Homo-oligomer: A and B are copies of this chain.
Amino acid sequence: MEYYICIDIGGTNIRAALFPKGEIKPLFQERITTQGENQTAEERLVELIRRIWPQKNNVLAIVAAAPGYIDTQRGVILKAVNIPNWEDLPLKKNLERIFNTQVFLGNDARLAALGEWRYGAARGHHDVLYLTISTGIGGGVIINDQLLMGSQGIATELGHVVIQTGGEVCSCGHRGHLEALASGKSIAEYVRTRIAAGESSNLIGDKTISAKEIFQAAKKGDQLAIDAFKRAGEFLGIGVSNYLHIFNPSCVVLGGGVVQSGDLLMKPFRASLEEHVLDKEYLKKLTITTAQLGDNAGLIGGLVLIDLMIE
């Protein structure tokens, strides 16, 4: 049997999965922390690959997903988000030298889009908008059965677009981005700000408050918590309506933890989308759905990338 190794590199953990060729269920998965004592993140990554490497040494390719700007053509991480010192890192070349097999790199959200398109919620569609809404907002776009990469491979930074000039500060430092208004982090930030301004809530608006806790409070009827999801849903509707006008997809897939909150987010989202869309044509044949592949979307998308790159 021959194998692919798919890796998902995050700021906290690195996950690796071993896929038998032709399958989308991994045989093994391993996970280690991204930062280790006296080891760089790259050394941790190499250690993880060694751990999951099959005894028979028959790995056809390695594919790694990472957050940030990645030049997929050259296999260089231009700048990773959350991983210090990963700038202009020729990771493809480095890993190919060590493991003597083909290596591919991709942005994690774009690989997740590929996964959902080929094997998940957007199967059968040719034009797909994928957005993942968790702490931040990322995305990927399929146009005419091809992944939108851009001239340098850094297209579809879909969370980092201004929808409110001069608005809230984003994780990237700019203002009014979709991510600053509709992400999990922005939901927590909104609740913190409102509590600091004296609004009553059962929540304690300290620095550790998470979108998950706010979700729990909303389910128990806390009005501030409900408002926070409503506001995020409304901004998400504005962001998605923009993308309908830009891409005219036939399928929108929403992934990420925040989408798990269901109607709390989705009802105001849908109302906002209908309000902001330019013309009913954009919604007429549109499927809006949640992601199906969960945490494995990026890993499975890695398999699709290999397939596209080797073709």
Determine which of B148, B166, B250 lies in contact with A143 in the assembled complex, contact meaning CB atoms within 8 Å: B148
Q: Which residue of B is nearest A170, CB measured?
A: B278
Chain B CB within 8 A of A157 CB: yes
Chain B CB within 8 A of A34 CB: no
Q: Which residues of B contact A192 (CB under 8 A)?
A: none
Pick from A126, A167, A238 the residue with the most CB of B within 10 Å. Answer: A238
**Interface digits, A147-174 against B, CB 8 Å rule (1 contact, 0 not)?**
0111111111110111111110000101
Q: Which residues of B contact A281 (CB under 8 A)?
A: 69, 78-79, 152, 154
Contact of B248 with A153 in the complex, beta carbons under 8 Å = yes
Contact of A246 with B151 in the complex, beta carbons under 8 Å = no
Q: How far is the CA of A167 from the CA of B152 in the complex (A)?
A: 33
Q: Which residue of B is nearest A71, CB measured?
A: B281
Contact of A150 with B249 in the complex, beta carbons under 8 Å = yes
Contact of A126 with B151 in the complex, beta carbons under 8 Å = yes
Contact of B241 with A154 in the complex, beta carbons under 8 Å = no
Q: Which residues of B contact A193 (CB under 8 A)?
A: none
Contact of A160 with B127 in the complex, beta carbons under 8 Å = no
Q: How far is the CA of A250 from the CA of B149 in the complex (A)?
A: 12
Contact of B165 with A279 in the complex, beta carbons under 8 Å = no
Chain B CB within 8 A of A144 CB: yes
Q: Which residue of B is nearest A155, CB measured?
A: B248
Q: Which residues of B contact A242 (CB under 8 A)?
A: 161-162
Q: How far is the CA of A127 from the CA of B146 in the complex (A)?
A: 14
Contact of B241 with A162 in the complex, beta carbons under 8 Å = yes
**Interface digits, A231-243 against B, CB 8 Å rule (1 contact, 0 not)?**
0000100100110
Chain B CB within 8 A of A247 CB: yes
Q: How far is the CA of A276 from the CA of B164 in the complex (A)?
A: 13
Contact of B152 with A248 in the complex, beta carbons under 8 Å = yes
Chain B CB within 8 A of A119 CB: no
Contact of B155 with A247 in the complex, beta carbons under 8 Å = yes
Q: How far is the CA of A245 from the CA of B172 in the complex (A)?
A: 13
Q: Which residues of B contact A167 (CB under 8 A)?
A: 165
Chain B CB within 8 A of A282 CB: yes
Contact of B157 with A250 in the complex, beta carbons under 8 Å = no
Q: How far is the CA of A78 from the CA of B153 in the complex (A)?
A: 34
The 5 A-B pairs with the shortest beta carbon distances in the complex, nearest first, are: A150-B248, A151-B250, A155-B248, A157-B245, A161-B242
**Contacts A/B (CB < 8 Å), 9 sampled:** A127-B150, A144-B149, A149-B248, A155-B246, A155-B247, A161-B242, A162-B163, A162-B238, A162-B276
